[in-house]
Amino acid sequence: EDQVTQSPEALRLQEGESSSLNCSYTVSGLRGLFWYRQDPGKGPEFLFTLYSAGEEKEKERLKATLTKKESFLHITAPKPEDSATYLCAVEGGSEKLVFGKGTKLTVNP
Amino acid sequence: KAGVTQTPRYLIKTRGQQVTLSCSPISGHRSVSWYQQTPGQGLQFLFEYFSETQRNKGNFPGRFSGRQFSNSRSEMNVSTLELGDSALYLCASSLGGTGEKLFFGSGTQLSVL
């Protein structure tokens, strides 16, 4: 059974304080690892897809990396508007998307 | 380009009733999937429809069902509601290939009293 574990559950940062979110996964036949951002009262918003170990993708202050067992979402010099819940998900051979429970990020000004 | 639209936004029902939720995908998207989100379990996959056929199903009881119409719009039905069905129900659409990103609606917040 595909599984995704995200850590930490919650993270508080000061504006400009860089950090990383972790996503550990087990999956049979990885077809894609996804990062989404979810703001309160809204549906998740797509950030990145990673397909194979060693792959990296960047967007503004965010950078996602992938190994065979985990993915990291690095946040460089975060701003208050980066506050949100970040969700990691994997799609394997079952073609069902399995989500982690998310990391709630708060960036204080 | 319009996003994924879910109606209604909020719904209050009592135990034993049934409910129907609606989802209009992004134009041109043929896949619609449904998720249940609760604070304790997070986002859990309910089912996926592609070209009016259920292509995949999660581990939920048969009280949860869905369908997709020829215009790709989808409905989800929950019969004999239980207190534990209180959740945010999210619909997502995509072109339908594997490993594709999903576009989510804002969800329907269902409260069962």
User: Looking at beta carbons, which residues of chain B come within 8 Å of A43?
Assistant: 4, 90, 92, 104-107
Q: Write down the pLDDT at residue B99.
A: 80
| Cβ neighbours for A10, distance < 8 A, ≥ 6 positions apart | A103, A104, A105, A106
pLDDT band with cut points at 50, 70 and 90 for residue A95: confident
Which of A46, A87, A95 is facing B98, going by the closest CB pair?
A95
CB-based contact (8 Å) between A102 and chain B? yes
| Res A27 pLDDT > 90 | yes
Q: Is the peptide bond before B61 cis (omega within 30 degrees of 0)?
A: no
Burial (CB count <10 Å: 0-12, 13-18, 19+), residue A10: exposed
Q: Write down the pLDDT at residue B1.
A: 67
Considering only alpha carbons, which residue of chain B is nearest residue A92? B99
CB-based contact (8 Å) between A40 and chain B? no
A/B interface, count of CB pairs below 8 Å:
54
| Res A102 pLDDT > 70 | yes
| Residues of chain B with confidence (pLDDT) below 50 | none
Output b/e per residue, A68-83; b: 16+ Cβ within 10 A. eebbbbebeebeeebb
Q: Write down the pLDDT at residue B50.
A: 94
Q: Write down the pLDDT at residue A18.
A: 98
| Res A3 pLDDT > 90 | yes
The predicted-structure confidence for A51-92, as pLDDT tens digits, reads as follows 999 999 999 999 999 999 999 999 999 999 999 999 999 999
